[in-house]
């Protein structure tokens, strides 16, 4: 007998533009096993429409997304009643469940309860301010506690429970600042930090959000992962922010939607198979759609900056009518060439220089060898990042000379870009610390190491336990692109995530052996700190070390800093 299950796996508010549309709402993630998904969703949609109409929410929309094992059920809703909106989706689900089990439910008491919740949550002043801001083309942000008008120095913030009258606001005093949003599987943090160097070269104070901190100018406002909506709002409301560069992570977009509904330009650096299986995002195609949520924050005339070397991005872009700016390592990339023919903007490498084509003429920006983070061009992923920054900063209004200066000024030190290509030179040895944690990112770093001159090469690695055996093997395959003479395998006790100690190192060890490495080339370590020390014991003058600091990054950098200073 088929096991039939209907379960709610998550119910949450979507506070901004999201995977489904560019407005707020509520989402119900459900498990549907042993039943016809289309039938279940049709019933839920019917009951949801009944409730919405009865609650006088007749203009609100309903949609859904089916995935393996379940579905996401979504409604749009006013921003002042999002908690009530989640109750509506859940109530419609309860009625659906009962109907499928041949049970009748009295809808009137449900409607009365929902009406009461909506009435308690209503905030007419909030909706009026939202509409007035849209009419006056003033940036508007909201959360549970505050709403704000404008960005940066002229931003005005008000408590949600103490909002002003529209006529009491000096709308003409509220100004805008340039805002870029950057997402992708790899390169987000480096891109926003590299671009901040361009903003600094222009004499402006740059604010950035990232997975490490919120920063305005040289001042870190708070440390931690601020790549979600909360970090974006905090930065845009800060009076010292003159240009904002926002790292946007997949998790925040799927969980709550975008924290910012109006940007100047957006970037998708690349899309690879990482973090699959969360929020119903189970395939690479799903992940591409999720990453492209950022385009909800721009209009059709603003620049959507995309990777012409990324197949998923190229394919998805064919369905869009945005103004696309393509970037590529290769001038002869067919996407680049076709876009030029049609008068589009592109950025690429030609004869060792970054070239920006504005649709009418080709402009040389800077030599790749003069950009420190490219390691003379060997770090192709950072060449990509420099291309992204060039296109992004042009969209933000910076000139070519300023962009070139900013790219040349930025060095990927632990202070500027912690854990992303940090280079240490000592006693004829070069060590590079990087955060590459998925197959795509590590393949790029390993190729960088392979392309740099060295007598011998070493890779130190580990992995978290929530990755499948296949993904871990894929990571090892990427590491072996460097053709290492030594592989240091580290246990990551703090990241076992359900696995037993020793299991991940054994998977890495066995796959490395199956790919041609010998037992003599492999060193095991209890953690990444011990692994770093063993790597230094192995190293001789002329050697190149890739240290993947997925844990204990600060301690690893401290060790290498001390060695390089004493050496």
For residues 355 and 362, the answer to whether their CB atoms sit within 8 Å is yes
Domain limits at 262? 179-409
Neighbours of 72 (CB within 10 A): 20
Q: pTM for the whole thing?
A: 0.86
Instruction: Indicate the residue among 356, 381, 409 that finishes a domain.
Output: 409
* Nearest by Cα to 254 from 221, 278, 226: 278
* Residue 218 shares a structural domain with residue 351: yes
Instruction: Indicate the residue among 138, 154, 173 that finishes a domain.
Output: 173
Domain membership flag for residue 324: yes
* Residue 462 shares a structural domain with residue 440: yes
* Residue 144 shares a structural domain with residue 20: no
Q: What is the strand order of the sheet 5-14 is part of? A: 5-14, 25-33, 70-76, 62-67
* Nearest by Cα to 348 from 397, 383, 398: 383
Domain membership flag for residue 91: yes
* Residue 64 shares a structural domain with residue 110: yes
* Residue 431 shares a structural domain with residue 404: no
CA-CA distance, 412 to 490, in Å (whole number)?
25
* Residue 448 shares a structural domain with residue 334: no
* Residue 216 shares a structural domain with residue 340: yes
State the pLDDT at residue 2: 47
CA-CA distance, 514 to 561, in Å (whole number)?
35
CA-CA distance, 122 to 133, in Å (whole number)?
19
* Residue 318 shares a structural domain with residue 426: no
Q: Give the side-chain half-sphere CA count within 13 A for 65.
A: 19
For residues 301 and 322, the answer to whether their CB atoms sit within 8 Å is no
**65 token code pair:** 């997304």
CA-CA distance, 156 to 47, in Å (whole number)?
41
* Residues in the chain with pLDDT values less than 70: 1-3, 273-277, 567
* Residue 140 shares a structural domain with residue 107: no
State the pLDDT at residue 263: 96
User: Which residues, listed in sequence order, are joined to residue 546 by a DSSP beta bridge?
Assistant: 432, 459
Instruction: Indicate the residue among 386, 409, 432 that finishes a domain.
Output: 409
Domain membership flag for residue 485: yes
**Helix intervals (H) in 342-491:** 380-395, 400-409, 439-451, 469-479
Domain membership flag for residue 416: no
pLDDT digits (tens, 9 = 90+) for 382-407: 999 999 999 999 999 999 999 999 99
Domain membership flag for residue 414: no
Q: CATH no. for residue 522?
A: 3.90.190.20
Domain membership flag for residue 417: no
Q: CATH no. for residue 24?
A: 3.30.70
* Residue 183 shares a structural domain with residue 165: no
Domain membership flag for residue 89: yes
Length of the chain: 567
pLDDT digits (tens, 9 = 90+) for 343-383: 999 999 999 999 999 999 999 999 999 999 999 998 998 99
CA-CA distance, 263 to 544, in Å (whole number)?
41
- State how many domains the chain has: 4
State the pLDDT at residue 3: 60
* Residue 189 shares a structural domain with residue 256: yes
* Residue 135 shares a structural domain with residue 282: no
Domain membership flag for residue 241: yes
């Amino acid at each position: 007998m088929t096991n039939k299950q209907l379960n709610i796996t998550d119910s949450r508010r979507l506070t901004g533009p999201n995977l489904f549309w560019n407005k707020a709402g509520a989402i119900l993630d459900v498990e549907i096993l042993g039943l016809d998904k289309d039938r279940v969703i049709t019933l839920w949609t019917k009951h949801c429409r009944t409730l919405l109409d009865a609650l006088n929410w007749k203009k609100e929309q309903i949609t859904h997304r089916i995935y393996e094992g379940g579905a996401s059920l979504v409604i749009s809703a006013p921003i002042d009643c999002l908690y009530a909106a989640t109750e509506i989706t859940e109530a419609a689900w309860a009625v659906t469940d009962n109907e499928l089990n041949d049970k009748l439910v009295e809808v009137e008491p449900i409607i009365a309860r929902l009406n009461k919740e909506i009435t308690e949550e209503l905030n007419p002043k909030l909706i009026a301010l939202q509409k007035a801001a849209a009419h006056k083309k003033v940036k508007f942000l909201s959360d549970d506690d505050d709403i704000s008008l404008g960005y940066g120095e002229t931003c005005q913030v008000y408590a949600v429970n103490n909002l002003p009258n529209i006529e009491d606001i000096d709308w003409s005093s509220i100004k805008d600042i340039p805002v870029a949003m950057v997402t992708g599987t790899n390169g987000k943090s480096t891109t926003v930090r590299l671009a901040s160097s361009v903003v600094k070269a222009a004499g402006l104070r740059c604010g950035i959000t990232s997975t490490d901190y919120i920063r305005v100018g040289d001042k870190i406002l708070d440390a931690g992962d601020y790549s979600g909506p909360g970090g974006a709002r905090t930065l845009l409301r800060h009076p010292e922010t003159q240009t904002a560069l926002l790292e946007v992570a997949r998790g925040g977009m799927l969980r709550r939607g975008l924290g910012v509904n109006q940007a100047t330009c957006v970037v998708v650096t690349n899309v690879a198979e990482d973090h699959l299986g969360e929020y119903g995002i189970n395939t690479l195609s799903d992940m591409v759609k999720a990453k492209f949520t950022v385009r909800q924050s721009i209009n059709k005339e603003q620049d959507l900056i995309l990777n012409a070397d990324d197949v998923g991005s190229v394919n998805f872009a064919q369905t869009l009518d945005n103004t696309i700016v393509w970037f590529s390592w290769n001038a002869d990339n067919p996407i680049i060439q076709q876009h030029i023919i049609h008068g589009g903007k592109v950025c690429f490498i030609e004869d060792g220089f970054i070239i920006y084509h504005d649709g009418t003429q080709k402009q040389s920006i800077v030599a790749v060898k003069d950009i420190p983070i490219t390691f003379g061009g060997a770090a192709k992923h950072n060449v990509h990042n420099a291309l992204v920054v060039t296109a992004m900063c042009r969209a933000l209004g910076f000139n070519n000379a300023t962009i070139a200066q900013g790219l040349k000024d930025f060095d990927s030190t632990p202070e500027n870009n912690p854990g992303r290509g940090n280079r240490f030179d000592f006693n004829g040895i070069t060590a590079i610390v990087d955060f590459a944690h998925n197959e795509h990112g590590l393949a790029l770093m390993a190729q960088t190491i392979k392309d740099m001159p060295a007598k011998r090469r070493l890779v130190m690695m580990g992995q978290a336990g929530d990755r499948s055996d296949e993904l871990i093997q894929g990571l090892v395959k990427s590491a072996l692109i460097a053709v290492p003479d030594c592989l240091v395998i580290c246990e990551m006790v703090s990241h076992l995530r359900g696995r037993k100690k020793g299991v991940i190192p054994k998977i890495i060890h066995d796959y490395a052996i199956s790919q041609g490495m010998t037992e003599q080339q492999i060193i095991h370590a209890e953690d990444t700190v011990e692994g770093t020390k063993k790597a230094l014991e192995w190293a001789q003058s002329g050697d190149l070390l890739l240290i993947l600091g997925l844990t204990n990054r600060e301690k690893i950098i401290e060790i290498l800093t001390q060695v390089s200073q004493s050496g």
